[in-house]
């Protein structure tokens, strides 16, 4: 026979509305809830694999991203300084003879001296010998300092008397993207395009194939980063 003590916990449960009062029943978390929490947390391995894939993609494209080569008919051609074997100059002369510009400037550092003479003097003599019938269409644009950003200031001085609308830059292929960005930002009054001069001894888009290509790519990316994070905002 059941005593009153047997019914007391059940009566308390009915009054309080708590089915757990007076009973030994415990509710365990459902399996679906645990699974959902697990699905919300991506595996660390997946995160590392995604980062590795992005790094590999960047490495494969690092060389190509640096290169722009889109020569357009312009009023003036500007050959930037910086090569060693006249690749930029030769590319500029090729474009000038093909009608891509009415006049061409070659940038020469006026602060450099070799054997008692300025580099600008050597450049002027070279143009007298090399340009032939195009001599009147080619000029030296002297500049000082040693960066693409500072070079743009001197180019502006050389361009001003000609009042051009469109200007075509000529520079080494690995330098084209940064040069175009710098000149477009610093001299927005002109419409800029750029042509690439190739130097297979210094650079190739498959940079991992040669040590010199890898060095050039790394150095150029450091300059691109510095330009976009620091110099652009000065």
22-53 pLDDT, tens digit each: 445 555 555 555 555 555 566 888 889 889 88
Average pLDDT of the residues in 119-140: 94
So what's the pLDDT on residue 13? 52
> Average pLDDT in the 169-180 region?
97
Q: Where are the alpha helices (DSSP H) in 66-147?
A: 87-97, 119-130
**pLDDT score for 154:** 96
Give the pLDDT band (50/70/90) at residue 16. very low
Model confidence at 217: pLDDT above 90: yes
Torsion angle of the four alpha carbons 95, 181, 189, 79, in this order, in degrees rounded to the nearest 10: -30
Question: For residue 31, what pLDDT is reported?
Answer: 57
> Nearest to residue 66, comparing CAs of 190, 215, 199, 172?
172
Domains recognised in the chain with CATH numbers? 76-198+209-233 (3.40.50.620)
What does the pLDDT read at residue 4? 47
**Pair of tokens at residue 83:** 């090569």
Give the β-pairing of 103-109 and 76-79.
parallel
DSSP designation for 199? -
Residues 6+ apart with CB under 8 A from 208: 59, 214
Going by pLDDT thresholds of 50, 70 and 90, the confidence category of residue 146 is: confident
How much is the average pLDDT of 192-205?
A: 96
**Which pLDDT score is estimated for 79?**
98
Query: Are 66 and 206 spatial neighbours (Cβ–Cβ below 8 Å)?
Result: no
Q: Identify the pLDDT of residue 15.
A: 43
Q: What is the pLDDT of residues 67-87, one digit of tens each?
A: 999 999 999 999 999 888 899
Q: What is the Cα–Cα distance from 183 to 89, expressed in whole angstroms?
A: 19
Nearest to 110 by CA among 79, 85, 145: 145
Residue 107 near residue 154 (C-beta atoms within 8 A): yes
Q: What mean pLDDT is predicted for residues 189-216?
A: 96
Average pLDDT over the chain, rounded to an integer: 87
H or E stretch including 141?
A: strand 138-143
Query: What is the spatial distance between Cα 197 and Cα 82, in angstroms, rounded to a whole number?
Result: 11
């Amino acid at each position: 026979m059941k005593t009153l003590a047997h019914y007391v916990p059940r009566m308390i449960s009915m009054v309080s509305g708590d089915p757990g009062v007076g009973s030994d029943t415990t509710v365990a978390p459902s399996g679906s809830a645990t699974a959902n929490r697990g699905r919300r947390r991506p595996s660390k391995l997946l995160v590392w694999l995604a980062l590795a894939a992005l790094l590999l993609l960047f490495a494969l494209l690092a060389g190509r991203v640096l290169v722009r080569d889109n020569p357009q008919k312009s009023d003036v051609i500007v050959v930037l300084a910086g090569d060693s074997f006249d690749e930029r100059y030769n590319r500029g002369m090729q474009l000038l003879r093909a009608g891509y510009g009415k006049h061409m400037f070659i940038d020469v550092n006026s602060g450099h001296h070799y054997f008692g003479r300025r580099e600008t003097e050597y450049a002027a003599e070279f143009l007298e010998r090399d340009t032939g019938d195009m001599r009147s269409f080619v000029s030296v644009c002297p500049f000082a300092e040693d960066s693409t950003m500072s070079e743009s200031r001197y180019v502006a001085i050389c361009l001003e008397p000609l009042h051009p609308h469109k200007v075509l830059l000529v520079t080494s292929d690995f330098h084209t993207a940064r040069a175009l960005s710098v000149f477009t930002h610093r001299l927005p009054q002109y419409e800029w395009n750029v042509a690439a001069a190739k130097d297979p001894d210094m650079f190739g888009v498959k940079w991992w194939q040669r040590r010199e290509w890898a060095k050039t790519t790394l150095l150029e990316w450091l300059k691109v980063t510095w330009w976009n994070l620091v110099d652009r905002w000065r």
